[in-house]
Amino acid sequence: MKAMILAAGKGTRVRPITYTLPKPMIPLIRKPVMELLIEHLHRHGIKDIAINTSHLAPLIENYFRDGERFGVRIAYSFEGALVDGEVQGVAVGSAGGMRKIQDFSGFFDETFVVLCGDALVDVDLGRVLQFHKEKKALATIVLRDVPREQVTKYGVVELHPDGRVLRFQEKPSIQEAVSTVINTGIYMFEPRIFDFIPSGQEFDIGGQLFPALVAANEALYGVVEPFNWLDIGSIPDFWEGTRLLLEKQLPGFELPGQEVRPGIHTGINLRVPWGSVNIQGPVYIGSGTEIGAGATLIGPSVVGSGCVLQEGATVRECILGDYTRVSSAAVLERKIISGGKCIDPNGKYLDINESQIGWIVDDARKQMQLTAAEAELWEQVMDQVTA
Amino acid sequence: MKIENKEVGRYLVVKILEPRMGADRAASFKDEMCKLIDQGHMAFVLDLSEVNFIDSTGLGAILSILKRVGKSGDIIVTGTSDTVGSMFKLTRMDRVFQMFPTVDEALAARV
């Protein structure tokens, strides 16, 4: 069976992280989401994968290359053009992206799977395939049952008892929702699906293809599978997802590195005076990180590689990107530091340069230079706090 | 630095009417406040609800006023936006100043 991963989106709901990282490359602790996805496909015996790229395409393509390192074979379908050195995305939509590949080479010559590249899933594709074949489906949507309070975030699906899709409801209210099973963005198709996808125009799977199948009374089925699903479609989701992983609440997900103390996982080449720091797990501390005496690090937290927590710095429930420096004067609580931004779990953020908080948190590779005002403020605040 | 003030009991509520408390406004803020201190005011409620940007000089200016009014004085900070409030928390200034969402809540707490 072949697969396609949709990785061409701009990730607008995960800004500002996606200003510098395409959504599928957002790391869950250390691994990009898409790597975890490809590992999952590989475990199911899938070897040939087409990936459509656009926004920040090189970051994806340079990481996965031809896929050999991951035991798969990858072909990229680049959607866009390079204009004056800048990639300009050309929107073709999710189904449009499939069609582009099919028009190019007829790649999809047997039952295939399409997944969104921004969720961690461990669905049993073998069972989905079995269902798909039994029903002689043209298209099967993998559905998941969620608590009723959550239906407002998703596309809800109404099923006939035999599994046929009756209709869709996009982000319904709790009262209006006709069911609690939602579209997970994982689909299984027969090549005949391309009869319903026009060439050369923008076409979306959920918004256009599926309604067309329902209207034409085609064999569109939904299968409800229990599986672990970590959606990182927004900053709050990414925040919650990371916490879940740190607290080991996702079965089958192993924290990277070694557990050097209970609840504390690390990489290698660390400089940490264990006797004089206050570190409480669950935390992951990346390789090459330095933590100064008297610093406080409280989990759940992820500290990237090459980070510096200066003496006395306080970091509480944070996700720090690689090469983050937290200065002694800082108290960082519930923040994501990524790409020069200081982000709250609700998505609001400060630009470190524009807000001039580089003296609190910045790139560890920059030389630290305090202005006179900053040095004075630091001293005064520390005086007042310790008084 | 444009400010608006009114007395409420022993407190002078000082509302900053400019959106940016940066290096260029910090000095004039200090001047205005010093004038008020010279007039005998020692207890202030600072209303920052119109302020959407503050940097180290701005924070330093507020801190220097705290030092000037000393132990017998009081400075309460109110109305910080998400961004300005973030700045206070990041720099531990929220441990130096009492902070309230609104002027009314600050005054109610002090009565």
Examine the fold and report which residue of A200, A235, A270 is the final residue of a domain before the chain moves on. Answer: A235
Residue B27 touches chain A, beta carbons under 8 Å:
no
User: Using the beta-carbon criterion (under 8 Å), do A377 and B59 form an inter-chain contact?
Assistant: yes
Could you report the predicted ipTM of this complex, rounded to two decimals?
A: 0.82
Give B111's pLDDT tier (boundaries 50, 70, 90).
low
Q: Is A95 helix (H, G, I), strand (E, B) or coil?
A: helix
Q: Backbone phi, then psi, for A152, in 5-degree steps?
A: -65, -15
Contacts of A349 in chain B (CB under 8 A): none
Query: Quick one: which of B27, B28, B31, B33 has its CA closest to B14?
Result: B33
Which of A235, A270, A289 is the last residue in one of the domains? A235
For the stretch B56-95, pLDDT in tens is: 889 989 999 998 998 889 999 999 998 899 889 988 889 8
**pLDDT tier for residue A380 given thresholds of 50, 70 and 90:** confident
- What number of CA atoms fall less than 13 Å from residue B109's CA on the CB side? 14
For range A222-241, the mean pLDDT? 91
> Taking 90 as the threshold, does the pLDDT of residue A242 lie above it?
yes
Asked if residue A349 has pLDDT above 70, the reply is yes
B56-69 vs B23-38: helix crossing angle, rounded to 10 = 10
Q: Report the distance separating Cα B65 and Cα B31, nearest Å.
A: 10
Task: Give me the pLDDT at residue B24, please.
Answer: 85
- Shared domain check, A217 and A266: no
A13 and A142 in a single domain? The answer is yes
**pLDDT number for residue A308:** 98
CB pairs under 8 A between A and B: 60
What pLDDT, on the 0 to 100 scale, is given for residue A223?
96
Question: How far apart, in whole angstroms, are the C-alpha atoms of residue A66 and residue A88?
Answer: 23
Nearest to B92 among A350, A373, A381 (CB): A381
Cα nearest neighbour of A361 on chain B: B90
- Per-residue pLDDT reduced to its tens digit, A201-213: 999 999 899 999 9
**Which DSSP string do the residues of A191-222 spell out, in sequence order?**
GGGGGGS-SSS---IIIIIHHHHHHTT--EEE
Q: Same domain, yes or no, for A153 and A18?
A: yes
Positive or negative, the CA dihedral B45, B48, B54, B57 is negative
Cα A223 from Cα A98, distance rounded (Å): 22
Tell me which residue of A16, A8, A51 sits closest to A238, measured CA to CA.
A16
Q: Evaluate whether A29 touches A242 at the Cβ level (below 8 Å).
A: yes
Contact criterion met (CB < 8 Å) for B60 and A377? yes
Determine the Cα–Cα distance for residues B25 and B2; give it in Å rounded to an integer. 10
**A177, HSE (Cβ side, Cα atoms, 13 Å):** 22
Any B CB within 8 A of A376 CB? yes
Residues of B in contact with A384 (CB under 8 A): 63, 66, 95-96
In this structure, are A153 and A59 located in the same domain?
yes
| CATH number of the domain residue A98 falls in | 3.90.550.10
Sign (positive or negative) of CA dihedral A317, A17, A256, A49:
positive
Residue A253 belongs to a domain: no
Contact residues, chain A, for B87 at CB < 8 Å: 355, 357
Same domain, A272 and A222: no
Regarding whether A13 and A127 lie in a shared domain, the answer is yes
> Quick check: A117 pLDDT over 90?
no
Contact A380 B67 (CB under 8 A): yes
Residue B32 sits at the vertex; the CA angle it makes with B27 and B37, to the nearest 5 degrees, is 120
> What's residue A82's pLDDT?
87
Q: Note whether B13 and B47 are within 8 A (CB).
A: yes
Q: Within its chain, how far is the Cα of A14 from the centroid?
A: 9
How much is the pTM? 0.89
Tell me the per-residue pLDDT of A36-70, one tens digit each, with 9 for 90 and over.
999 999 999 999 999 999 999 999 999 999 999 99
- Are A274 and A258 in contact by the 8 Å Cβ rule? The answer is no
Query: Does the pLDDT value for residue A387 go beyond 70?
Result: no
Residues in B touching A331 (Cβ below 8 Å)? 89-92
Say yes or no: A19 and A103 in one domain: yes
One-letter identity of residue B44: F
Whether A332 and chain B come into contact, CB under 8 Å, resolves to yes
- Reported as a single tens digit per residue, the pLDDT across A145-188 is 999 998 988 889 999 999 999 998 888 999 999 999 999 999 99
Closest-CA residue of chain A to B71: A384
Residues A18 and A164 in one domain: yes
A384 or B21: which leads in pLDDT: B21
AA identity, residue A202: E
pLDDT of residue A368: 85
Q: Do B57 and A373 touch (CB under 8 A)?
A: yes
Does the beta-carbon distance from B82 to A348 stay under 8 Å? yes
**Contact check, Cβ <8 Å, A329/B53:** no
Helix (H, G, I), strand (E, B) or coil at A280: strand
The Cα B45–Cα B8 span in angstroms is: 10
Given a cut of 80, whether residue A382 has pLDDT beyond it is no
pLDDT value for A371: 83
Question: In degrees rounded to 5, what are phi and psi of residue A33?
Answer: -50, -45
SS3 content of chain B, % helix, strand, coil (to 5): 45, 25, 30
How do strand A86-89 and strand A80-83 relate by DSSP bridges? antiparallel
A182 contacts chain B (CB < 8 A): no
Q: What is the mean pLDDT of residues A326-330?
A: 90
Strands B74-78 and B98-100: parallel
Q: How far apart are CA A44 and CA A46, in angstroms?
A: 6
Q: Which of A317, A341, A377 to mutate to test the interface with B (most CBs of B within 10 A)?
A: A377
Question: What pLDDT shows up at residue B85?
Answer: 92
Q: Extract the tokens encoding B91.
A: 């720099």
Structural domain boundaries enclosing A136: 2-235
Instruction: Name B102's bridge partners.
Output: none
In a domain, A209, yes or no: yes
List domains and CATH numbers for chain B: 3-110 (3.30.750.24)
Q: Which residues of A150-159 are buried (b: 16+ CB within 10 A; e: fewer)?
A: ebeebbbbeb
Residues A184, A44: one domain? yes
| A264-321 confidence digits (pLDDT tens) | 999 999 999 999 999 999 999 999 999 999 999 999 999 999 999 999 999 999 999 9
Residues A100 and A212 in one domain: yes
Q: Report the distance separating Cα A26 and Cα A124, nearest Å.
A: 24
The total domain count for chain A is 2
CATH of the domain at A306: 2.160.10
- Tell me what the mean pLDDT of segment A211-232 comes to: 92
**pLDDT at residue A357 tops 70:** yes
Say if residue A208 is in the same domain as residue A118. Answer: yes
In a domain, A132, yes or no: yes
Mean pLDDT, rounded, of chain A? 93
Q: Which residue has the tokens 């015996």?
A: A45
One domain for residues A352 and A219: no
